[in-house]
Structure 1
């Protein structure tokens, strides 16, 4: 990634590992992630990231990855999930017991949905949250001042090609997640924040401006399903994010099902409880797939 200007510089490789540049820094806070200037800066960085070419399968990987995680869950001895909402507020309709067959059917439906979507397949980080964004610190810097040009995206563990809409939707989904709370379940959710119009417009506006810079011809714009009409294209990006909003929750729900088997808890969070809440939110936002 450092060859494209992202993440720490790679200094060397050895059997079983690698040596990377140490970056004097700190991670962003949740409050900073909600700052208008930082939202725009991250959107710009994300658009640049989504425009690079990586030597990876170019087809969207969401479904293959989710299927592999579901298979791994079953191999690990996993079975039906007794559903319960813990930190998801309000009424949500979802199955009381979620079987493996039902999850397979959800993935089948999602696959059919994705096949029809006019969103380009781009290299995605898939997990840009405050803990995965560093702020470079230099001598004389003040801790309370964030220079947006010093933001560094790290941890590409989940990096792969996906629809651009998935990356946008993951931003919107994480906007409504809050971790690090002092009492169980040690996280909370805000469903309204996940569909916040102002946040989506701020992010997508800066993202679109960078897309226009990176795709400066009619043919390039067409490859991104863009017209060059700014308001029309902005509405498209915002609609993409809303339409895909349930998908990151299913993605993280399946991931947390595996983590619950193999890790049990991280930072005090019961990962099975978190997995169930993610699946509840998938069902909450699933209608968006056909609404926008």
Structure 2
């Protein structure tokens, strides 16, 4: 679920100068010195905080008078546009969720192969990235048939990336690691409320029920919510960003997680509140899966479509557990203004609500 921290709109009605680490400012000065369009103009870049940050602090740094996006205007003259970069300052406690070096290696691989923003430099507690000139999707965009079809095709491409490193399923190890962390942080009352004492048994049940030798495994984003997807309005090219939770997993899990994210609107007045009436209906799920399977020119059969839909539905349970545990941990280690604990309650409530129906339907067929 982790709400996106990249490429969002500036927070508030007007730019607000914020403090970023001196190491980050030093890196920005070094980058500016190498760019002919801003070198020698003097002055620090304007630093603007971006909306949507839930794990890291993210800023847009921009220099007036650059020509990064310069174009000919109606008079035939080149107009100047500010050069922009994204500054990501890593948040507290993120090492409890993922290995930062693994995430940076993934980011660098994606960058080298033309996926996502380019890495421009690193400082001790963060990095500077290319600023993508595209629009971040909104919650409503996920339910737009045209955009949803583009996402399905792009996700199939993402799943087929030949990433370096082990290609084994990671979801069950992640669940057990996060459960251990949650137990270490929770009071006894919290542990009882969220039934953490029986959660190991729940994880084992899901792993035994769902894992199979014929399961399709690919490189998964694992956090495909709308804020992690950008689209170029003119070309309709789509870019998936933020790979902090990426790993190899059943592709059905990644799609299930994407479907679950349709219940969220992280830019509403109550960003932690989920509305599962917005979960895609039968026809929408079928359309997404058909597009996903046919996007690489393969001839999908009705059986393939139906089997993947069934697999996706069962993996929604794993998604609820993952982000439920994430919410519990985040409540203890992150001071960002977001009701992590209530978010966790909703994910676990959905798990217990849907588990009997989903497991019964899977075991009876």
What is the match of residue 328 of structure 2? 257
Deviation, 1:194, is: 2.3
Deviation, 1:17, is: 4.8
Q: How many residues align?
A: 252
Q: RMSD of the TM alignment (CA)?
A: 2.4
SS of 2:161's equivalent?
coil
SS of 1:286's equivalent?
helix
Larger Rg: 2
Deviation, 1:116, is: 3.2
Matched, 1:158 2:267: no
What is the match of residue 179 of structure 1? 266
Greater RCO between the two (CA within 8 Å, min separation 6)?
A: 1
The one of 216, 220, 242 equivalent to 1:124 is: 220
Deviation, 1:191, is: 2.8
Ranges in structure 1 where 5+ consecutive residues have no aligned partner: 83-95, 137-145, 217-227
Deviation, 1:80, is: 4.6
| TM-score, with length taken from structure 1 | 0.78
Comparing 12-21 with 127-136, greater Cα deviation is found at 12-21
What is the match of residue 2 of structure 1? 111
Ranges in structure 2 where 5+ consecutive residues have no aligned partner: 1-109
Is the 2:274–2:346 Cα contact (8 Å) retained in structure 1?
no
What is the match of residue 138 of structure 2? 29
Deviation, 1:177, is: 2.3
What is the match of residue 111 of structure 1? 207
Comparing 115-124 with 196-205, greater Cα deviation is found at 115-124
Matched, 1:273 2:346: no
Is the 1:243–1:291 Cα contact (8 Å) retained in structure 2?
no
| TM-score, with length taken from structure 2 | 0.63
Task: For 1:17-166, list aligned pairs within 5 A.
Answer: 17-81=126-190, 97-116=193-212, 118-136=214-232, 146-147=233-234, 149-166=236-253
Distance 2:218 2:184 in 1: 31
The one of 204, 209, 212 equivalent to 2:289 is: 204
Task: For 1:226-265, list aligned pairs within 5 A.
Answer: 228-265=299-336
Is the 2:294–2:300 Cα contact (8 Å) retained in structure 1?
no
Distance 2:165 2:125 in 1: 21
SS of 1:161's equivalent?
strand
Deviations 1:28-65 (A, max 9, x none): 11122211010000111100000112123311111111
